[in-house]
Structure 1
Amino acid sequence: RACVGAAAAAFPRRPRDRGGRAVAMDFAELEKKEGVRLSWNAWPSSRIEATRVVLPFGAVCTPCKPMPEMPVLPYAPVVCTECSAVLNPYCMVDYHQKRWQCCLCNTGNALPRNYHEINENNLPAELFPGYITVEYQMDNKNPRPPCFLLVLDTTMSAEELQDAKDSVGQLVALLPEECLVGLVTFGATVTVHELCESAMPRSYVLRGTDDVTQEQLKRLLQLELSPHEHATYDKIKGSAVAQSNAASRRFILPVSECEFALQTILDELEPDPFPREPGTRPFRATGVAIAVAQGLVAESHSAQGARVMVFTSGPCTMGPGTVVGRDMSENLRTHADFNKGSAKHFKAACKYYNSLGIRLATHAHTLDVFACSLDQ
């Protein structure tokens, strides 16, 4: 399914009466009906008014908001070739030329062939004035279960870590059995845990000081074939060695197959043992942990739904992506530091995390960060 909030595509002007005065609108009722909340409920009528707006325009959409009366269209949406916006009632349509203009980027697009019979009196459902928010229900010929890679910070007290482990265990227990899960833990080092059934479960420990690319991760986790295996590999039939070494059979498995192993690993987790001097922050390699998680899901679930979920107790203090030093006398940067350009780690951290964002977006993956820091 694909939910499209077309109301977020354009900010309508506030209705006015014949005298030009603004007419009151029930924005709460509109929000309840459409599932969209706007930062401003009136569009500036001139460029001068636009320059006087202090806060930027924005929209918060709730794609899964229950709407019993929401129209459901049993076909794929028509999208803009430039920005992928969806055809909606705010777009201009030329019924003679069979073209439509995107209301976001103003790109002209040709209507598909099955729309060539439309006119002012024969409109598709997505152009009905009242169909501002609709849901498209499309057939998925190859449905695949979603993937969740859990990345857990262990640089916290035993009590806090126990609470975190309980929360992660509860999260896994609530997932459907077909969902895929994996586990990465980090502190001064990054540990990738095998979840497959084995007499002796293995974990791979990586240094938290250096970035790790997908190709490097394949070698470190032994996900690639040896020269002899590669020479005898049959691309059509595959090989038992390649299948057994695949990340989807070792590190990321369905909940039904790995829930016991995952819960056992969580129960045995201890706070990061790396020594910490008084007056210093713990070694926390968050940047490398995210890079490892990204490479792992890219290797096993490229171009399909996957989420990297990071649970951390503080800022990154070592390796690429560092945002603050370990010495507690060094405070986290503030907005004033940004304005003065004196934020010590800002540029390097931005560059690194932007590169991670590009890696994730390339494979259609999402990063969630659940963070809490009480050491300031």
Structure 2
Amino acid sequence: METYQDKLAQIEERTGIRATWNVLPNNRTEAAKLVVPPTLMYAPLKRIANMPRVNYSPVNCSRCNAVLNPYCQVDFKSSQKRFVCPLCGAYTNLPSNYAGITETHLPAELAQTSNTIEYNLSFTNEKRQHPVYLFVLDLCLPEDEFESMKERVSNAILALPEDAVIGLVTFGTTIQVYELMYEYCPRYFVFRGHEDIQTSQLESYLGLRNRNRPNPAAQGSLDQRFLLPIGQCLDSLAQIVDGLEPDPWPVKQKARPLRCTGIAISVASSLLGAVNPSSAGRIIVLTGGPATVGPGMIASTDKGDNLRSHSNIDKKEALAAHVKPAIKFYTALGKRCLDKGHCVDIFGACLDQVGLHEMRPLVDLTGGQFVQSESFSNVHFVDSFEAVINSLSGDKDALLDHGMNGIVEIALSPEIRVSGCLGPCGALGTSGPVVGENETGKGKTASWKVCSIDSLTTLAFVLEICATPKDGATPPGQQRYVQFKTRYQSPAGDYILRVTTMAYRWAGREGARVVSAGFDQEAAIAAVARIACWKAESMPSADVLRWVDRAVIKLTARFSQFEKNRPETVKMQTNFMLFPQFVFHLRRSPILNVFGMSPDETAYYRHHIMRADVRSSVTMVQPVLIAYKPENPDEPGPVDLDSRSANPQHVLLMDTFHHVLVWRGDNVVQWEKQGLAESNETVSKLIQYPVDDAEEIITSRFPRPRYTHCDQGKSQARFLLAKLNPANTYTSGSGAAGEVMLTDDVNLQKFLDHLKKVSVSE
């Protein structure tokens, strides 16, 4: 029998959309009582089976500019065929080439299954332009790490297509911008890393200015010294990368190297802006430590000064003195890259922090990727880096599909407005009737720029209902519509327009009962996590946790049945039952819980949940725990994320999205030591199947998760215990089943009991 979650999954597979509320309230008064705002989790480049792709221009509504879609009513009988836009109700004449359509002979965009369709605009009047990839490499690395980085870059250059345009910038104490047109005598320009360099200055220093040609993009070969198609500079570029040496500037004892990361990225941005101002561009930064000099620095050169912690930042201590200026610098740099359509990726490999906390605005605004590891040779880093490069090459078998320099627009029915977008994008500030009064995330606009977007990137659009109770008194069964238009550039240089149109039921007079039936608790926790991360940018962590607590209390009080002041009478609908449990694990997750976490680690986890789809977001919030049992190892099944699930006779597979762990109970370990894995097929399967399943998860995910294999009672088993609900503690008694945990943390049952107690007294 098909379940409610199955229906939601089918909608997502067809449109890339998951909604927190699949039935919308009929007025703003009822919408204010929802607690979790109506939010659309939309993946603009999601891989959709059998999606129509056409080589002609779309037909737009004459009033609201919405694209022709399956919900349009077409007048087939009139001589001049026309359609009614479902969003605004306006009539629009169809072009002459649609004159032959009939009710049984429809164009692709009017087919009932064409909720999502792509238009290849390069077959019309769009000029094809190949994206530019500019590598920015850190030279202040130990010798082994330096060689590993060079190997990664060399492999990346060979993986990119020959017509891809490429450039190279290196940095340490100074910045080197390389010319690529000389094979036997490499030449580069050197800039100081102590102060920022404006774009006009860089143009002058590099000879990019030409008084007779004010447009830098029109200077022809003058600009191609620094950015060339790989096919024209492969030999010279390979020679330059192979001949790179670590930064020669001496490093004092007990001191950090002078590393000008911020200015190096700024120079790279200025170079792309001068030479490639209108086409897609990507700045790929590989760094192995914190910036210590110039704007964007996050630490002093003295190793005696520890890198800033959350406590230092909250208390505004001296160690955090560089945080605010660095964030301001990288935010301004991000806006500059956003204006040009250029993306910035940060690939960090360091046992310490590299400054992701400060650089996060730069990456998030431009839609770039964070990949963090301990070493450039770590398999976690290597596979994640290769996944990005393969997606840029346009490889059909790549883990990700990729687009650049995208713009996402939203069109809505008149009763609905958009408050903002939460995700890796920047607001374009376009006004219009769909722009809401409130602002959540990047708001006050109806369109957003996404400099880089892949098939896993998901944007959260927060909506608000603007209809009054009088306006909302509509007959039941009516629908309201939303349409997304995403225009982007493919790795091959083609310009693509993807259009997704979706209808949602309008509650009419039916009220909260019908609205609550359309609640999607998985999409809701993904939206709440994003809103909490957004609030954490301007609020203390304790205040964010209080906001989350108030949200789950209000939701429980609003959408459950109970008798006043009687917690034991609380009954929740099936599609609400897991939400309090999700909130419990969200509060304990590294997304919100900063205890024991560095600012870089927190920034890393928040960056990824702000771009993950619903399923991945739920896994980040509440990890998946699967048990393999000796009585039937062929059919593993999910178990509660609970200490009682740690049975000595079982093998557990835990997936936290960023970490995959295989845990073996004491009995299983003893069976292996006794040699039963070789003589007993059941024991052999019990040991091998979890490892195989873990490998399958790891190879199908980006970024590649870390892998841990551990036994009960060993040191690395702490990674599992840290995620489990502490149902059994040292105060529970010796008769408790499962793993006994040495903690005073509140368990899930106490959390739920207190939630019910507070909710019924509201």
* Higher strand residue share: 2
Change (3 A) 1:180 1:24: closer
Q: Does 1:347 align with 2:347?
A: no
- Find the residue that maps to 1:151 and give its secondary structure: strand
* Contact 1:77/1:86 (8 A) holds in 2: no
In our comparison, the structure showing a higher alpha carbon Rg is 2
Change (3 A) 1:223 1:26: same
- Who is 2:31 aligned against? 47
* Contact 1:192/1:205 (8 A) holds in 2: yes
- Find the residue that maps to 1:303 and give its secondary structure: coil
- Who is 1:166 aligned against? 151
Letter in 2 for 1:287: G
Separation (CA, whole Å) in 2 of partners of 1:333 and 1:301: 38
Which residue among 252, 261, 264 is the counterpart of 1:277?
A: 252
1:260: how far off? 0.9
Letter in 2 for 1:366: C
* Contact 2:11/2:18 (8 A) holds in 1: no
1:181: how far off? 0.6
Separation (CA, whole Å) in 2 of partners of 1:85 and 1:170: 45
Q: Does 1:132 align with 2:115?
A: yes
- Find the residue that maps to 2:237 and give its secondary structure: helix
**Bigger mean CA deviation after superposition, 307-316 or 211-220:** 307-316
Q: Does 1:186 align with 2:191?
A: no
Which residue among 30, 40, 63 is the counterpart of 2:45?
A: 63
- Find the residue that maps to 1:160 and give its secondary structure: helix
Which residue among 314, 321, 327 is the counterpart of 2:302?
A: 327
- Who is 2:230 aligned against? 255
Matches within 5 A, 1:73-92: 73-77=54-58, 87=67
**Bigger mean CA deviation after superposition, 344-353 or 22-31:** 22-31
Change (3 A) 1:68 1:374: same
* Contact 1:184/1:293 (8 A) holds in 2: yes
**Bigger mean CA deviation after superposition, 211-220 or 319-328:** 319-328
- Find the residue that maps to 2:282 and give its secondary structure: strand
- Who is 1:297 aligned against? 272
Deviations 1:319-374 (A, max 9, x none): 1122333333232343x556556643333222222222222222222222222331
1:74: how far off? 2.8
1:166: how far off? 0.8
Separation (CA, whole Å) in 2 of partners of 1:144 and 1:269: 30
Q: Does 1:206 align with 2:175?
A: no
- Find the residue that maps to 2:6 and give its secondary structure: coil
Deviations 1:260-299 (A, max 9, x none): 1111111111122222234433222111111111111122
Separation (CA, whole Å) in 2 of partners of 1:340 and 1:81: 56
Q: Does 1:25 align with 2:6?
A: yes
- Who is 1:3 aligned against? none
- Who is 2:337 aligned against? 360
1:200: how far off? 2.9
Q: RMSD between aligned alpha carbons?
A: 4.2
- Who is 1:12 aligned against? none
Deviations 1:24-61 (A, max 9, x none): 43545554444x374857577553554257xx956362
Separation (CA, whole Å) in 2 of partners of 1:80 and 1:345: 51
Change (3 A) 1:110 1:155: farther
Letter in 2 for 1:159: D
- Who is 1:8 aligned against? none
Separation (CA, whole Å) in 1 of partners of 2:191 and 2:8: 52
- Find the residue that maps to 2:177 and give its secondary structure: strand
1:157: how far off? 0.9
* Contact 1:209/1:320 (8 A) holds in 2: yes
Separation (CA, whole Å) in 2 of partners of 1:80 and 1:360: 32
Change (3 A) 1:85 1:353: farther
**Bigger mean CA deviation after superposition, 41-50 or 300-309:** 41-50
* Contact 1:148/1:181 (8 A) holds in 2: yes
Output the TM-score relative to the length of structure 2: 0.38
Letter in 1 for 2:205: L
- Who is 1:215 aligned against? 200
Q: Does 1:153 align with 2:112?
A: no
Letter in 2 for 1:131: S
- Find the residue that maps to 1:51 and give its secondary structure: coil
Separation (CA, whole Å) in 2 of partners of 1:300 and 1:153: 23
**Bigger mean CA deviation after superposition, 352-361 or 38-47:** 38-47
Separation (CA, whole Å) in 2 of partners of 1:260 and 1:247: 19
Letter in 2 for 1:352: F
Change (3 A) 1:28 1:341: farther
- Who is 2:365 aligned against? none
Deviations 1:227-278 (A, max 9, x none): xxx4xx489xxx9xx645x222x11111111111111111111122222234
Output the TM-score relative to the length of structure 1: 0.73
Separation (CA, whole Å) in 2 of partners of 1:269 and 1:62: 39
Structure 2 unaligned segments of length 5 or more: list them. Answer: 76-81, 354-762
Letter in 2 for 1:187: G
1:216: how far off? 0.5
1:94: how far off? 11
Deviations 1:72-91 (A, max 9, x none): 13333467999x99647698
Separation (CA, whole Å) in 1 of partners of 2:83 and 2:70: 16
**Bigger mean CA deviation after superposition, 337-346 or 195-204:** 337-346
- Find the residue that maps to 2:321 and give its secondary structure: coil
Matches within 5 A, 1:91-102: 100=85
Deviations 1:140-191 (A, max 9, x none): 6422222111111111111111111111111111111111111000111111
Query: Percent identity of the aligned residues?
Result: 31
